[in-house]
Structure 1
Amino acid sequence: MAMAILGVSITATLLPAQARNVKYMVSIPNTLESEQVKAKLDGSVKLFFGPQAYANDSRTIASMNAHGKMSIEFKADIASCQASFADALGTLQNNAKAAGADAVVNIVSYFKNGPVMSSATEFECRAGSNFSHVMLKGELVKLSGK
């Protein structure tokens, strides 16, 4: 009996893990209208995604990364991705306010060491077995005229 249990244990450890890593490209405009984003953002910091134009004479304060993570347990992948995006945007907003910035510009998404996704219309999200992840980079700036 002990040999049977040992055999099953060894076999289980040798099987490859069934890790899930599904890539989604999610709409930024639709997500900005979601309840998750509306609950996280207060409108005090302007957000400019990818190549969106902003005032040329803005003063850059800092660059930063933000990671949004949300449980998938009771949500569909896209809803979880939207909540992760809201979480990451909330981090960008809060750090911008703390630094005296009134905008975050050149916001791009990426995953780990992969390529950067610079878009005004989509962000990258990864859905795993338990969580969705959104990673954003942006520049905290003080817009001109303020």
Structure 2
Amino acid sequence: MKKILSTMAVLAVIGSAVPAHAADKKLVLPFAGALADNGAKERLGDSIAFYYGAQKTPKVLEKRGSDQTSQKTNAFSKTDTAVCHWAFLSAMLALQKRAQEVGANAVINITSNYKNVTYSSETDFECHVGNIVGGVALKGDFVRLADGKK
């Protein structure tokens, strides 16, 4: 019994030494890299056009709303880049699905929106990775463009 109690005491001391909060690393990665991974281009197809940050678009005929998505993925035993690319694809698929639901042919002004803090870029997105989970939050505007193709 004494051995069990001393083992429990040692474990309690070790457990209290571990920080209570998870790591939260901010990464800024290129859209191009994420779109080249996990079959992203094929999975997204070309039925909905995507425009990042302030990229120039064809004439907007009609705005169909705005929305945001926050997608998480398991970070255990994966590289930060792999986690971010997977979460990015999940977020893009969510935006694509919403665009289709509202009858849009494009999502424009796509920006990162982690904890409601906007990061806008025509080339990069923001991702946050912790010890267990990583995530990407995006927002965008759903529109009908005069020419839905890039």
Asked if Structure 1 and Structure 2 have the same fold, meaning a TM-score greater than 0.5 normalized by the shorter chain, the answer is yes
Q: Which residue of 2 aligns with 1:67?
A: 70
Q: Which secondary structure state, in structure 2, belongs to the residue aligned with residue 66 of structure 1? A: strand
Q: Which residue of 2 aligns with 1:134?
A: 136
Question: In the TM superposition, what whole-angstrom CA distance separates every residue of 1:21-76 from its partner, at most 9, and x where no partner exists?
Answer: 01100011221122242353122100000010112333110100011211122421
Shift, 1:6, TM fit? 6.7
Shift, 1:110, TM fit? 2.3
Which runs of structure 1 show a deviation greater than 2 angstroms over 4 or more consecutive aligned residues? Answer: 1-16, 55-58
Distance 2:129 2:18 in 1: 22
RMSD over aligned Cα atoms: 2.3
Q: TM-score normalized by structure 1?
A: 0.86
Runs of at least 5 residues in structure 2 that lack an aligned partner in the other structure: none
Number of equivalent positions: 145
Distance 1:103 1:82 in 2: 21
Question: In the TM superposition, what whole-angstrom CA distance separates every residue of 1:72-120 from its partner, at most 9, and x where no partner exists?
Answer: 224211011001000000000011011100100000002114x311001
Q: TM-score normalized by structure 2?
A: 0.83
Classify 1:96/1:76 alpha carbon distance in 2 versus 1 (closer, same or farther; 3 Å).
Answer: same
Q: Which secondary structure state, in structure 2, belongs to the residue aligned with residue 48 of structure 1? A: strand
Distance 2:120 2:21 in 1: 30
Identity in percent: 30
Q: Which secondary structure state, in structure 2, belongs to the residue aligned with residue 136 of structure 1? A: strand
Runs of at least 5 residues in structure 1 that lack an aligned partner in the other structure: none
Q: Which letter maps to 2:49?
A: K
